[in-house]
Amino acid sequence: MELKDKLAKIASYTLIGAAALPIVSCREKVEEKKMNILFIMCDDHSYQTISAYDNRYISTPNIDRIAGDGVKFVNSFVANSLSGPSRACMLTGKHSHTNGFTDNTRSFDGSQQTFPKLLQKSGYETAVIGKWHLVTDPTGFDHWDILIGQGDYYNPTFINNGEKVQRKGYATNITTDLAIEWLDNGRDKQKPFCLLLHHKAPHRTWMPDTCDFKLFSDKEFALPENFYDNYEGRIAAAAQEMSIVKDMDLVYDLKLADKENEIHSNENLEKIGRHMYSNMDAAQKAAWDAHYDAVIADFKKQGLTGKALDEWKFRQYMRDYLRVITSIDRNVGRVLDYLKESGLEDNTLVVYTSDQGFYMGEHGWFDKRFMYEESFRTPLLMRLPGGAKGEAAELVQNIDYAATFLDVAGVDIPQDIQGVSLLPLLKGEKSIEGRDAIYYHFFEYPAEHMVKKHYGVRTDRYKLIHFYDDIDAWELYDLEKDPSEMNNIYGKEGTEAITAELKKRLVELQKEYGEEEYIAQ
């Protein structure tokens, strides 16, 4: 707490220190215009598929514009790699146990303190447009226009300030249209704004826009080196149900709903998969069928089995996922262009992130949940007008967003917020000295994908994880020597000192964040 208070005070002084000094003359007294905040977030966007981070798979020139003109955080992580809980952490600046939304069976308590409420009280106009996924209605927003639950890719139904309305088109385009419309005509332009522009994409089942169907059709993707991971020494990893080989559904995920009804898969998922484009209009269905009927015919002709089938599934997954990312990048470009053309670019903090990371075949997986790097790590790009450019290597977490936005707005950061402001990093200063570790806790089990409950601590080099509940297993990784986390060295000779040090730090963080009940005995 003492460190956080100190950092908040330093950051606050950096932002408004000039106003605190004696005024020498009337001419020096200038009213500073409040900074606008545009917070763009996608659902399940892996850092591996943003070319500012990794150019193996796709080029994302518009998202990269934010990185090129701002700060790319290369050690950015979440507190709980699951959509609803992650969003609750961002809104409150608190870990899941503290904000009460530990897993997706919960409903968000909208009466609690959030950064939009605090900004609203300080004179900001606030809005959330797109995916909400917190069950209860948004609070703390002057305007909200949100998808119902996960939302649909095609012709989705929104709840516009309490009223349901179906809109024709593709969700990523519609969400962007609504955001630009609000910026242009819906807000009070005498006030600073904070807009949460939250896309459904690229959430499962990765349904592309009709104009993007042909993209990547001929592109091959190298399998991750650990695609055929056997999970030796990692019993929790072996128990999951998120394998591309075993759990990715041919009909639901890979869109092989053949009209001859010859391809079958999981009964429940197949039923959904055979009807999931029922929401489309005639033109959308025609474009869909023109593309996927050919894919289905080719799949049947090949008669794939064994590893050939496994690798076909991986390629098909990658192609659809990247098509969806292409639409996101195109729409990010639309918003950035609007900011520039409307004169807002020079006074708007632009943030791009995801609610968590995602597996692109690493360990043979799709989805998230684990504290392993691909789902724990998340992209985070921030462009502050007049601020720093480059990379920030400090350990940051999504509980830091609330404090950062408040600091940018010149609003006092409440003592109970558990994150710290990243504003000094955006200004090129080193302000998180003392944060040598971050804490993670995943609660949702038993549930979809069957990832065991676990918590852990990560430093710049090591990661210690404890899987608990119906299991009691520890894992330790040296990320410098083993970045793919294939070799669990917990209990191995020579690791006694680092294990003791990490367990001590883990307990300190559990006490700091009020999770003493989970301290391992």
Which tokens hold the place of 46?
Answer: 């892996």
Judged on CB neighbours under 10 Å (0-12, 13-18, 19+), 218 is exposed
Look at the domain 440-518 and name its fold. Answer: Arylsulfatase, C-terminal domain (3.30.1120)
List Cα–Cα distances, 108 to 286, 372, 447, in angstroms.
Answer: 40, 26, 19
List Cα–Cα distances, 178 to 96, 131, 193, 329, 352, in angstroms.
Answer: 30, 12, 15, 17, 18
Residue 296 · residue 263 · CB < 8 Å: yes
Beta pairing, strands 36-42 & 193-198: parallel
At residue 167, φ and ψ (nearest 5 deg) are: -120, 140
What distance in Å separates the CA atoms of residue 467 and residue 390, rounded to the nearest whole number? 36
* Residues facing residue 147 across a β-bridge: 158
What distance in Å separates the CA atoms of residue 264 and residue 257, rounded to the nearest whole number? 8
Which tokens hold the place of 449?
Answer: 């994908």
pLDDT for res 21: 31
DSSP 3-state assignment of 8?
A: helix
Residue 199 · residue 172 · CB < 8 Å: yes
Q: Where are the alpha helices (DSSP H) in 111-170?
A: 115-121
pLDDT for res 521: 74
Cα end-to-end span (Å), the chain: 25
Order across the sheet with 71-73: list the strands.
Answer: 163-166, 157-160, 143-147, 125-130, 193-198, 36-42, 348-354, 380-383, 71-73, 390-392
Look at the domain 2-205+320-432 and name its fold. Answer: Alkaline Phosphatase, subunit A (3.40.720)
| Residues 116, 440, 506: CA angle, nearest 5 degrees | 125
What distance in Å separates the CA atoms of residue 503 and residue 520, rounded to the nearest whole number? 9
pLDDT for res 430: 75
pLDDT for res 431: 67
Q: Phi-psi region for residue 187, left (φ > 0), alpha (ψ -120 to 50) or beta?
A: beta
Token pair 């985070």 in the structure block, residue: 380
What distance in Å separates the CA atoms of residue 336 and residue 345, rounded to the nearest whole number? 8
What distance in Å separates the CA atoms of residue 351 and residue 299, rounded to the nearest whole number? 41
Domain boundaries, the chain: 2-205+320-432, 440-518
* Residuewise pLDDT in 10s, the chain (521 residues): 444 444 343 343 333 333 333 333 333 333 478 999 999 999 999 999 999 999 999 999 999 999 999 999 999 999 999 999 999 999 999 999 999 999 999 999 999 999 999 999 999 999 999 999 999 999 999 999 999 999 999 999 999 999 999 999 999 999 999 999 999 999 999 999 999 999 999 999 999 999 999 999 999 999 999 999 999 999 999 999 999 999 999 999 999 999 999 999 999 999 999 998 889 999 999 999 999 999 999 999 999 999 999 999 999 999 999 999 999 999 999 999 999 999 999 999 999 999 999 999 999 999 999 999 999 999 999 999 999 999 999 999 999 999 999 999 999 999 999 999 999 999 998 767 778 999 999 999 999 999 999 999 999 999 999 999 999 999 999 999 999 999 999 999 999 999 999 999 999 999 999 999 999 97
At residue 309, φ and ψ (nearest 5 deg) are: -70, -45
Residue 80 · residue 89 · CB < 8 Å: yes
CA atoms within 13 A on the CB side of 104: 14
Q: Phi-psi region for residue 17, left (φ > 0), alpha (ψ -120 to 50) or beta?
A: alpha
Of 431, 449, 443, 462, the closest CA to residue 515 belongs to 443
Residue 518 · residue 260 · CB < 8 Å: no
Cβ-count burial 5-40 (b if 16+ within 10 Å, e if not)? eebbebbbebbeeeeeeeeeeeeeeeeeebbbbbbb
At residue 440, φ and ψ (nearest 5 deg) are: -135, 145
Which tokens hold the place of 198?
Answer: 């939250």
